[in-house]
Amino acid sequence: MHIIFLGPPGVGKGTQANMLVEKYPIVKISTGDLLRESIKIGSNLGMQAKGFMEKGELVPDQLVLGLVLEKISSPEFGKKIFVFDGFPRNIQQAIELDKIMAKVQSKINLVIDFTMDEEERILRLSGRRMCPKCQRTYHMTYAKPKHDNLCDVCDVNLVQRSDDNEEIIRQRSTVYWEHTRPLLEYYNVKKILKSADASRSIENVFSDIENMIKPLMK
């Protein structure tokens, strides 16, 4: 049994996925993480991806699928529940993912659509900051550092991820609505689509997600 988290950047999908990973035998597959990791180690796929991300453009399907396939081939697969966070991003990727799942005699059992008001979402995203040294994340409104713009642990200046500035956020949103939104219909037809109101507190959203997942874990 595997799960997909759908929703535009900034609705808290990643946070919810991380909370699931801590509490249950669940593995998070975030293409964002896979991409950043591949860029960090300077792999061939990573270097190609970097160029697209810096321009606020989507990384091509073939490249993303390569990274996901690698992850699905790991020994964890089959033993744990996989949560796909930010993937698939279009119908083509969804079809490819279904094929891969069928090959390993598995399938997607649940798709959760995270919904949030557009302006609130952009405010949340543009306030995100990260420590370049320890990778801790902060938010200038919701999770401020103790002193100015400094990491609580490392005392170094926090930075904004290059894809978190407002202009790039809006570009990514346009791309999302155009390509990812049609996926809702794709999964709705399969009767595995559920929706979560992501504008509420992190705890409330998490409790909803748990209620959706628990019946599937039996």
Work out whether 131 is an interface residue with Zn ion (CB under 5 A): yes
Q: Are 132 and 156 contacting, i.e. CB atoms less than 8 angstroms apart?
A: yes
DSSP state of 77: B
Q: How far apart are CA 16 and CA 71, in angstroms?
A: 20
- Check binding of 133 to Zn ion (CB under 5 A): yes
194 is catalytic: no
Q: How many CB atoms sit inside 10 A of residue 153's CB?
A: 11
The minimum distance between CB 161 and Zn ion, in angstroms, equals 14
Please report how close the Cβ of residue 66 comes to Zn ion at its closest, in angstroms.
31
Question: For this structure, is 121 an active site residue?
Answer: no
Residue type, 84: F
Q: Which of 28, 124, 129, 172 is catalytic?
A: 172
Q: Closest Cα to residue 27, out of 1, 9, 48? A: 1
Residue 76, token pair as written in the block: 């964890």
With binding defined as CB under 5 A, does residue 202 bind Zn ion? no
Nearer to Zn ion, 134 or 202 (CB): 134
Which x/- pattern, by CB under 5 A, does the window 146-185 give for Zn ion? -----x-xx-------------------------------
C-beta neighbour count of 127 within 10 angstroms: 17
Site residues (vs Zn ion, CB under 5 A): 131, 133-134, 136, 151, 153-154
